[in-house]
Homo-oligomer: A and B are copies of this chain.
Amino acid sequence: MLRQAVKLNDCSMREYLRPNAGLQAHAIACKMIEGRALIGGIRQLNKSFVSADDVAKRAGVSRSAVSRTFTPGASVSDETRQRVMAAAQALGYHVNQLARGLMRSESGIVCLVVSEMDTPYRARLVRALTHELQRAGKISMLINTDRSDGSVDAALRQTLHYRADASILLSGLPDKAITKLCLDSGQRIVLINRDDEIDGPFRINLDDGHAARVTVSAFLRAGCRHLALANSAVGTPSLMARERGFVAAAAEFGLDVTVVRHGNTVYESGRKIAQTLFAEPKQPDAVFCVNDLMAFGLMDGARHDFGLRIPEDVCVVGFDDIEQAAWASYALTTFSQPVDEIVKNSIAWLANHGGESQPEVRSINLHAPMIWRKSIRGMQRPIS
């Protein structure tokens, strides 16, 4: 492409022919070449971003002055600042964060790595994270990791390409080598509910075990004796923790648990599991579903396919407390994901960039409170 060559020649020639010709005209002439130049027309369709140079010229100051005007805390006189601002306003100037990031080696970008982000819980988390990151002066890049093994690694690679300041992983677990690479590159990594053992990232987890125990005792108080657990087949650490906790707590009371694992953590899986569970001779009278979506599927299966009533015939508890759990058709008793807490902690940890050497917090465990609705018999009692 000879765009640059042409532009250069053109500009320098003009400058040579009439030195000190209007700077404004100079700028426009360049732009014309750069954008779509209209033959014979003066209509400037300068399709390109305006730079600090343009502003400086118009304001009659140096580029440094412009830069300082837009750098909080830099030394600029009031007069200069005002002239710069006026010029910037008129030209529609916006600091180029890419270039700024290059210099400051801090892009302001935070990557959110997530799969199936249209899932209610994930969507809520992404929204809250994005919102708070914005308030903290960061901007979020969304990277999808649907399916395919190694797609989390690819996502982290993207993260490196864009020199993200940090990455927040809501799904999947990256290869240790890649994680290390990111950390070595100066990135900060937050793992939400991923329960990895790798050192370096900040890990946020929930007290899944506690929730499971609370569920068991609530079922027992409701008079249930045939406990079941509906899990997905994917076996995420946190899902497995819920399962283990539930089975263990039941065992303490000498009760067996029918465990069914199927599909993903979605509605259809729950419904399918209902078909398995309630077709057995020994129908369960209480089911703990590892997330709300599965709980809804299970409830609909129980009601529509087997004519069971909830909570009279079967009690159900979910996890996540997504919006739909409050809908009258479900009124699901469930555990609330402390989204705000998660977000607050993530961002606080990210913001704590300055304090380097002091022993850093490595992980945190948050409490998921039970939200009592109507999918379980009886009243809520204070939790031990």
Contact = CB atoms under 8 A, between A and B. Distances in A.
A68 interface: no
Interface string A322-352: 0110011110000000000000000000000
Interface stretch (A78-86, A141-149, A204-212, A229-237): A141-149
A328 B126 CA distance: 28
A356 B36 contact: yes
Contacts of A126: 117-118, 142
Nearest to A357: B36
Interface in A96-118: 96-99, 101-102, 105, 107, 112, 116-118
A329 B328 CA distance: 10
Interface in A276-308: 296-297, 299-301, 303-304
Contact of A49 (B50, B185, B323): B185
Contacts of A193: none
Given A49-B163, A300-B327, A94 B142 contact: no
Q: How many copies does the complex hold?
A: 2
A140 B48 CA distance: 21
Given A267-B323, A329-B300, A356-B36, A140 B139 contact: no
A181 interface: yes
B184 A92 contact: yes
Interface residues of A, number: 65
Given A98-B102, A304-B328, A329-B330, A144 B118 contact: no
Given A142-B140, A144-B134, A127 B120 contact: no
* Residue with the greatest number of chain B CB neighbours at <10 A, chosen from A47, A162, A163: A162
A1 B299 CA distance: 62
A48 B104 CA distance: 12
A131 interface: yes
A365 to B, nearest CB: 25
B139 A141 contact: yes
A221 interface: no
Contact of A185 (B47, B127, B146): B47
27 contacts: A35-B186, A36-B357, A47-B184, A47-B185, A47-B186, A48-B186, A49-B160, A49-B186, A92-B184, A92-B185, A97-B162, A97-B163, A99-B102, A116-B127, A117-B126, A118-B120, A119-B123, A120-B120, A127-B144, A134-B144, A140-B141, A141-B141, A271-B328, A296-B327, A297-B327, A300-B329, A301-B328
Given A98-B102, A141-B141, 9 more contacts: A47-B185, A92-B160, A96-B163, A118-B127, A120-B123, A130-B142, A140-B142, A271-B328, A303-B329
